């Protein structure tokens, strides 16, 4: 059924990336998350289909192959992040995960453990950096460092007495400014971004189903004060999502900017495991029929 849903007509410049089952119906009985093993005559599924722009996919593939790597598949980044930062309880209670990256914010809604909806906002961490560069008249690289080291989404968290050094543009001398000025620039952008996410939440109509509230992850979610501002704007509990359930070099990948990378590894691992189980089941079946046919011959 999922394979059949993949054949849905999409515009020529888009490609189906995921067909995510929301729920199944067996002979009219709804609310079924896993119909495997049930009997019935009619199976229906409500699915959420994610498509990607063909040009963006081709360019990304080319870029990755030029770096000497091979593309095994494409995964919606918020889906990967969700598998790294969310617990099963959160997903079944209903949760909205927002992956705040460099150029985009990817929003994914889980209802009853399944993906109910997804959206992408064309705004991210690089907009914060650009604002700092323009607002404080400093190069982009210096603005990025200031944002990460001293930035805050809430000016009220910063004391009036603190000051920071700001590098000048084009060889001009650096200046000292109150740290609060940096927070003021970031606060305006944070408010805009969180309001856009809040609008998406309200327009999705899924707000009453978000029992576990909102989880912010991705590099740009690390800005100090963002979670507190989020709680105020969304009026639901908000937490920062960090990659969970990994061993090895976990000290290196414990921050929110590794959520997608850790999630992609988990996603690939689960897919490979399922493929191996399928493969061994098929092999067992083949062995079984071989045994039966040999037994029959004897
Ligand atoms: N400590 C920090 N405080 C604030 N912002 C940060 C911090 N660390 C990283 N960022 C911002 O996070 C962004 C990068 O995040 P991430 O690595 O998740 O993006 P990406 O996945 O590469 O981008 P996209 O998802 O848009 O394709 C950058 O804009 C960076 O400035
Ligand atoms: Mg990302």
Summarised one tens digit per residue, pLDDT across range 135-176 is: 999 999 999 999 999 999 998 888 889 999 999 888 888 999
Interatomic CA distance for residues 166 and 143, integer angstroms: 8
- Asked whether the CA dihedral 22, 24, 28, 30 is positive or negative, the reply is negative
User: pLDDT (tens digit, 9 = 90+) per residue, 21-40?
Assistant: 999 999 999 989 889 999 99
Percent of the chain exceeding pLDDT 90 equals 76
Question: Does the pLDDT at position 223 exceed 90?
Answer: yes
- Segments making up each domain of the chain, as ranges: 1-74, 127-186
Segment 21-25 long-range contacts (CB within 8 Å, at least 24 positions apart):
21/45, 21/46, 21/47, 21/114, 22/46, 22/47, 22/48, 22/111, 22/114, 22/115, 22/116, 23/112, 23/114
| Phi/psi of residue 240, nearest 5 degrees | -90, 130
Interatomic CA distance for residues 101 and 286, integer angstroms: 47
Q: Is 241 in the pocket of ligand 1 (CB under 6 A)?
A: no
pLDDT at 289: 65
| For the CA of 217, the nearest atom of ligand 1 | 18
The answer to whether the beta carbons of residues 55 and 12 sit under 8 Å apart is no
127-186 folds as: Nucleotidyltransferase; domain 5 (3.30.420)
- Residues near 8 by beta carbon (within 8 Å), at least 6 away in sequence: 16, 49
Q: Whole-prediction pTM value?
A: 0.90
Question: Does the pLDDT at position 6 exceed 70?
Answer: yes
pLDDT at 33: 87
Identify which of 79, 85, 102 to mutate to test ligand 1's pocket (most ligand atoms within 8 A of the CB): 102
Q: Is 112 in the pocket of ligand 1 (CB under 6 A)?
A: no
Question: Does the pLDDT at position 298 exceed 70?
Answer: no
Q: Is 124 in the pocket of ligand 1 (CB under 6 A)?
A: yes
């Amino acid at each position: 059924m999922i394979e059949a849903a993949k054949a849905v007509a999409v515009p020529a410049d888009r490609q189906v990336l995921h067909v995510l089952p929301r729920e199944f119906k067996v002979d009219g009985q709804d609310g079924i998350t896993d119909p495997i093993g049930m009997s019935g005559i009619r199976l229906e599924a409500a699915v959420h289909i994610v498509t990607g722009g063909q040009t963006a996919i081709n360019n990304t593939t080319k870029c990755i192959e030029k770096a000497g790597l091979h593309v095994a598949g494409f995964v919606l980044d918020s889906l990967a992040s969700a598998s790294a930062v969310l617990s099963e309880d959160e997903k079944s209670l209903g949760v909205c995960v927002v992956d705040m990256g460099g150029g985009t914010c990817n929003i994914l809604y889980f209802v009853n453990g399944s993906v109910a909806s997804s959206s992408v906002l064309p705004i991210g961490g690089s907009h914060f950096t650009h604002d700092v560069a323009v607002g404080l008249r400093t190069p982009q690289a210096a603005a990025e460092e200031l944002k990460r080291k001293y930035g805050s989404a809430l000016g009220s968290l910063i004391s009036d007495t603190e000051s920071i050094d700001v590098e000048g543009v084009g060889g001009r001398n650096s200046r000292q400014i109150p740290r609060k000025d940096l927070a003021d620039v970031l606060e305006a952008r944070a408010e805009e971004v969180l309001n856009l996410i809040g609008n998406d939440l309200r327009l999705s109509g899924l707000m009453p189903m978000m029992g576990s509230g909102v989880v912010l992850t991705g590099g740009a979610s690390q800005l100090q004060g963002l979670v507190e501002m989020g709680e105020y704007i969304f009026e639901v509990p908000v937490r920062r999502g960090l990659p969970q359930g990994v061993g090895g070099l976990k000290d290196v990948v414990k921050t929110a900017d590794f959520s997608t990378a850790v999630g992609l590894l988990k996603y690939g691992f689960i897919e490979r495991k399922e493929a191996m189980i399928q493969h061994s089941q098929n092999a067992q079946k083949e062995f079984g029929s071989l045994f039966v046919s040999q037994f029959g011959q004897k």
